[in-house]
Every structure is written in structure tokens, then in C-alpha cells.
Homo-oligomer: A and B are copies of this chain.
């Protein structure tokens, strides 16, 4: 950090240590540089200032105040005045309370900005921590770590892959330690429901069950409990928190249903100060990781309880704390990750999904994991359709070669491998074994066709193709392609992470933005309706469609994802995703998802063409009649509330209109749910 500072410069450090203790906490090399460059050294405990002034972890105003107070760009008094003026201009739309909190933060900053007296000699023997652990693979050490430490420009081109592929599973080496409050598990209170693991946006909470025989040489602080299931007396359960990767969002605590009978505020999982010795954390996690993952063929996929035992192949992304999108992606990776192809539209999910230097998509112990790519904002549906076509062509090629090589491979074996069912996990495991056998057989055959078959034989395991993106992609910029991909009839799955706004670019209105909400380009509240993409897809007849909200009904979320994947045709899932752009503390994200459903704003539904072919009503409404008015949901979010402050009359008119639209859609959905098969388009 100090390599570019000039002699006599000013060094400001955001540090939790007080001014008379901070010096001793610095590594020796840093002390040396401060002394020899004759730096003025200041500290601020910005996180504490933010906490004390109700800024909820936001430190931008605080650090900016320090900058102006120290830099001398403007006279200090004038600078402070200007900062306050800017705050008023930037935040007044968000209400008086926000402005005043920021004012308070400015004042508190000035009271907590201290100069540190720099001693004349180096006292510390501590050295800088290495960027990544010593167990990291060579690529991570030689390339990823260089970027992480700000030396990416020094990397030679020869270090990059020649075909554009990029190693996955590297976020695990970037221990960000960004939250000092992390969940602490209470094994005695826990009912092992798995809700906390399910909602965690960063895959920080994981569960395994295992034979008690594994509990040897248990590291300090590693916790376990008898499994909460009768008839398995020797089986233990552990809920492991990856504390160094936690963002402190609190969703796990919010969702936890188990409370202490005496102290109702104390749950089976609670936020607590993070263990300060990261080596202790690392040892616990290392022990947990050495425990075997539970066999996929034996996990009950249909319940949240079962889902916690599936290995996530998407972890520790750079998404916001409390992100409402990543739990869907993590679930996707748990359900189908080992045979997943993902075409990812540009947007939040392409940024946290394919960020440099590290990649959150990862693989299991067998090296199986999602293949992921991002083309453009506008062409993602076509791009993903191409993945499907490619997989289908390679599968067809594999089938053709299998038949040609049947004399050498054995006819029965060839027929078995071609016609293998692959709906159950156990069936997929069986097919993987057949492919291993096939590979062995092929190495003994000198025919060139054997080599060709080797190059495509992995396609004999059914590929699960998912087109993933936000509402900006699906409703707007990529909608033409999305519609065309839906009309193709091909076996693709589309997951729309619907935040109802262009989140990644700062909150512009999309066609998914609801009536009465404010956004950029719709700052006076959107007058038009939210496009009903679900019904547009339903009109094709042969498209599986679902509206889901994991915070409101996780079971339905899982059911929809599995039905979509199993359906041999196009599927579209609209996933309600709470988002910082909605303007509230995301620890309440699950409550708001519940409210969105309870108000009828986001009806949960599934449209399954398979039912239509069986002469059953394919339209299923999964949520109950609205129980609260729209505004009870909406006015807990700044995106709706802001208009009540800037233009109360307009706000009221728009809310009435929005309520009318909610009522009408609910009525239509309810009617559809009570119709008969012949009222729907036949499946061709």
C-alpha cells in the first residue's frame, strides 16, 4: 500500500486499534517504510464510527471526511461545509433521517481522527501475511495472487490460458474477512432444518452428517451434534460456518426458527464476534472439508432439510451482503452443478459470477463442475441455446460412434449406455460408471473412431443447460432472443433473477419495474405496469413456467427448479430477488419476499406442459389469496416510499393503480388455476 507514497506524505489507516496500540500491530516492513519515508500517520476507526452513527457499515462519508480534513485541498471548515452540502444533494431524496445520519457521521469522524506518534525505530517482528495459502494450486499462486495483491499488470501473457478458459473455484483462496460479526452455531438448540444454509448468499454455511468415527483429532472449537433423526445413533451432524468468507448479512439468523425457550431472542444461530485467530478458523474448516460429502443419490432433493447436504459449486462470490440472487444460483449449483452449462447474461450475476481475479463457480472432488460463460447482454439466450445445440450434436455424434463401434464394445453395452435413464441422481451415477467403463474399453481399440468417441463421451451424461440473467436482460435488452429461444422448443432452462431494476448499473427502470416504484428514468414513479413475462411464456403452451421466491416458499423454489430441469423442452423461471436497489436493510429480505407473496404482488405459480398432455390443468397457483394490502409490502422499501415523500398525491394515485393491477392479475391467475386442460394451448 505504501509503495507509491512520497517522502513526507500522509498515511491514513482505517483500523480497529486505538492510536497508542496500532503501531505495534503493524508488520515490521510497514513500520520501516513509515519511518524512512518520514510519513505523517493518522488512524480512524471508521467501522465503529459508522456503527455508532447508524450508518450500517457504510464508511464512504467517513473516509471522505478524513481525506478533506487531512489533505488541505480546501480549508478544513469550508471542506466540511462542502461535504455536508454534497450529502444534502445526494441523499435528500432518501429522506431527512439519512441526511442527518450522514451529518452525524461527519462530526463523529472529526472527533475520532487521530494522529499516531511515529517512533524512531522498528519494533515489530511480524511479517506480511501471504496473499493466498500455501495449499493453493500453482495457478492461484502465480496468477490469481498477483492480481489480488495489485500486481496484475506485471503478469506476462504466457501465464494466461491459450484457449480463453479460466480455472474455476478460486474464491476459496481469497479470504476477505470483511465482517467482524459472523454466525455462531448453537448445536444444542439447532433442529438441523437447513434453512440457514439454504438462504446464505455466499455459501458460507454448510452441513454434513457423518459417522462419529470421523471425530478423531478434532480441532479446537469444532462443533457437532447427534443427528436429529431416529435410528442413527452413531451419526453426527455439523453445521460449519466459513467465517472468513462471511459478509455479515444476518439472513441466517433471520431465517432460523429455533429459539432458546428462555431467551426468545437467542436462536440456534446468532451473530457474534468473529474468532480473532484465523488459524483456528482455518483448522476447523479444513477438518470439516476432510469429512466426506454425503452421497447425492441418498439425499432427499425435495426438502430444504435435504438440500443442505448437497455440495454448493458456487461459493464466496463478490455479491452484496444479503444478495437475493445468489441463493438461487447456489441452489442451481447444488442441484445440477456437476453437469451444468451456464450462459450468463451481463449484469450483477456476470460480475460476481465471472469476476477477476477469482471465480466463485467451482467443482467437486471428482473435478466435475459447471462450465460457465458470458457473451453479451443482448445475446445471452441465443448463446445458451447454442450451448444446448452443441451438447445435442456432440451427444448425437457419440451415439453414432457407439453404434459404429458396437461390434467391439458389445451391443448390449452400447444399447444400455444410449438408453440409460438419467432422471434420478442414482441413474446419473450409474451412467458415469458406464462412461468410465466405456473409456477403458476405448483405450484398447485402435480404430480412429475410438479416439473420436473419447473426445465426446462425457456428453453421454445429460447436460443441464441454464440461461441465467437479470430482468434487464430477460425483459428488456435480451428479450427478443429470450422469446426466440423459448419458441425453439429446445430443452433449455432460463433463470431470471428478477430484481425489477437494472441493479448492476445503478438502478435504472426496466420493463420488470413495478407500477408506483421509483427508479432512474422513472424517478416520478413508474406509471406503466410490470410486464407479465410468465404469462407471455405460458401462451406458447410448451414452455414450463414458474414464478418463485425462495424467501417465501423454499420448497416451491426447489420443486420448480427440478421440474424445469426435468422437462424436455424450454423452461422459464422468474425468481423474485430482493436487492439493495430496493432500499432497505437486506437482513429483512426474506420478510419482504414473504410480504411480496402475501400481498398477491408476486403470486407463486407453475405452468407444467406435462400436465396438459395428461389432460390435467397445467396452471398451478402455489400461493394463497392476498392477506395484506400491497402498500404493507411496498412501503417498507424506499423504491416505493420515496414518492410518498417527494409527491404524496402522485404516490397515492399510483399505489391505488398498482393495487388495482395486483387485484386483476390475482383474479386472472386464480381463474386460470381453476380451468381445465382444454382451456390451454395443446402441446404440439
Q: Report which A residues bind B (CB closer than 8 A).
A: 378, 476-481, 483-484, 487, 489, 511, 515, 527-529, 531-532, 535-536, 539-542, 657, 660-661, 664, 667, 678-682, 684
Contact = CB atoms under 8 A, between A and B. Distances in A.
Contacts of A679: 664, 667
Given A539-B532, A684-B515, A481 B484 contact: no
Nearest to A525: B684
B535 A539 contact: yes
Nearest to A477: B480
13 contacts: A378-B480, A477-B480, A479-B484, A483-B511, A487-B511, A489-B527, A528-B542, A529-B681, A531-B539, A531-B540, A535-B539, A664-B680, A667-B679
Contacts of A542: 528
Nearest to A483: B479
Contacts of A511: 483-484, 487
A24 B642 CA distance: 88
A661 B683 CA distance: 10
Contact of A684 (B477, B480, B529): B529
Contacts of A682: 657, 660-661, 664
A539 B476 CA distance: 16
A682 B529 CA distance: 9
Please state the number of chain copies in the assembly: 2
A487 B681 contact: no
Given A487-B528, A536-B539, A661-B681, 8 more contacts: A378-B480, A476-B484, A478-B480, A479-B484, A489-B527, A489-B528, A535-B539, A657-B682
Contacts of A378: 480
Contacts of A477: 480
A347 to B, nearest CB: 16
B684 A664 contact: no
A532 B537 CA distance: 11
Nearest to A476: B484
**10 closest residue pairs by CB, A with B:** A480-B480, A527-B684, A479-B480, A487-B511, A660-B682, A528-B684, A536-B536, A479-B483, A657-B684, A532-B539
Nearest to A527: B684
Contacts of A531: 487, 539-540
A559 to B, nearest CB: 26
Nearest to A654: B684
A48 B478 CA distance: 54
A500 to B, nearest CB: 14
A541 B664 CA distance: 12
A482 to B, nearest CB: 8
A233 to B, nearest CB: 57
A529 B515 contact: no
Contacts of A535: 539
Most buried by B among A476, A487, A667: A487
